Amino acid sequence: MQPIGVFDSGVGGLSVLQALRLELPHEHFVYVSDSGHAPYGERDVSHVLQRSLAIGDYLVHSHGARALVVACNTATAAAIAALRAAHPALPVVGVEPALKPAAAHSRTGVVGVLATRGTLASDKFQALLQAQNTQVRFVLQACDGLAAAIEHDDAAQIQALCARYTAKLGHFGATPDAIDTVVLGCTHYAFATGVLQNLLGPAVVLLDAGKPVAQRTHSLLAQSMAENAASTDDQEKTDGVELWTTGAVDTLRDAAQRWLCGAGPVRHVVLG
């Protein structure tokens, strides 16, 4: 069976890959970490667009991907439309901050959003924000350096940055005007959930995009199969994961060992 291609600027997209493997346990995945050209969240749009298109082409033409998952909020904002135009025959699924679920969940009417500067500044995010319930107040916080600290598994830096940025958001809890729900607007941040939860307290709910993205991917693949008069039950099962990186192999290997179960070897690739 042709694989599902997944990519991110680094190791953060492994959080989405975790959810994809749970949702689609019999699928084969090819994951590309573009850590040689990261971080995306602090780079200009043209850089992220060019890198995303190069990786999409690689996954389709070198690995025969039958679907693409952009496991990066910044890349989704910058390049999802261009990727869909470049590969019109394929399902292309992006990641976006879970603003609507957060608004529905919040009882205090105040939602915090932690994201990269690039995501918060994007037209796509601003349009998403404007589409939300006006009775809910969203407090936005750019988290410069946090994705990089998670990328390098720097525990002290992760703790310090999480403390800094949550403090800037405001006060938390179930009382009126307190933040009771926080959206993790970068796939890297899912790997700092423990640190963030300790800082925010048990009354605050953290929401990331992994499960919704996996469910959307499953739905689109099922639709694609139906349109092609085929069933996933009739396809050869080739479950597994291939890991590729444009940066340091050790970084992705170490992250996969921490956060994935049963991943294969990590290989280096030069793209663009």
CA 139 to CA 113: how far, in whole Å?
Answer: 6
Measured in whole angstroms, how far is the alpha carbon of residue 115 from the centre of its chain?
11
Residue 185: closest CA among 200, 173, 196, 201? 196
**Could you give the C-alpha distances from 227 to 87, 106, 222, in angstroms and in order?**
17, 39, 9
28, β-bridge pairs: 240
Q: Where in the sequence numbering do the catalytic residues fall?
A: 72, 186
Phi-psi region of 235 (alpha: psi -120 to 50; beta: other; left: phi over 0): beta
Tokens 């703790």 correspond to: 159
Residues 55-111: tens digit of each pLDDT:
999 999 999 999 999 999 999 999 999 999 999 999 999 999 999 999 999 999 999
CATH level 3 topology of 4-95+210-268: Rossmann fold (3.40.50)
Give the CATH number of domain 99-207. 3.40.50.1860
Sheet strands (E) in 95-208: 110-115, 137-142, 181-184, 205-207
The pLDDT of 126-133, averaged and rounded, is 93
Tens digit of each residue's pLDDT (9 = 90 or more) over 167-198 = 999 999 999 999 999 999 999 999 999 999 99
Give mean pLDDT, residues 129-149.
94
Domains 4-95+210-268 and 99-207 are alike in CATH topology: yes
Q: Where are the domains of the chain?
A: 4-95+210-268, 99-207
Q: How many residues does the chain have?
A: 272
Mean of the per-residue pLDDT values for the chain?
A: 92
User: Residue-wise over 148-168: b if at least 16 C-beta within 10 A, else e?
Assistant: bbbbbeeeeebeebbeebbee
pLDDT tops 50 at residue 207: yes
Higher-pLDDT residue of 237 and 223 is 223
8 within 8 A of 186, measured Cβ to Cβ: no
Asked, as a colleague might, if the bond just before 91 is cis with ω within 30 of 0, I would say: no
* Residue type at position 73: N
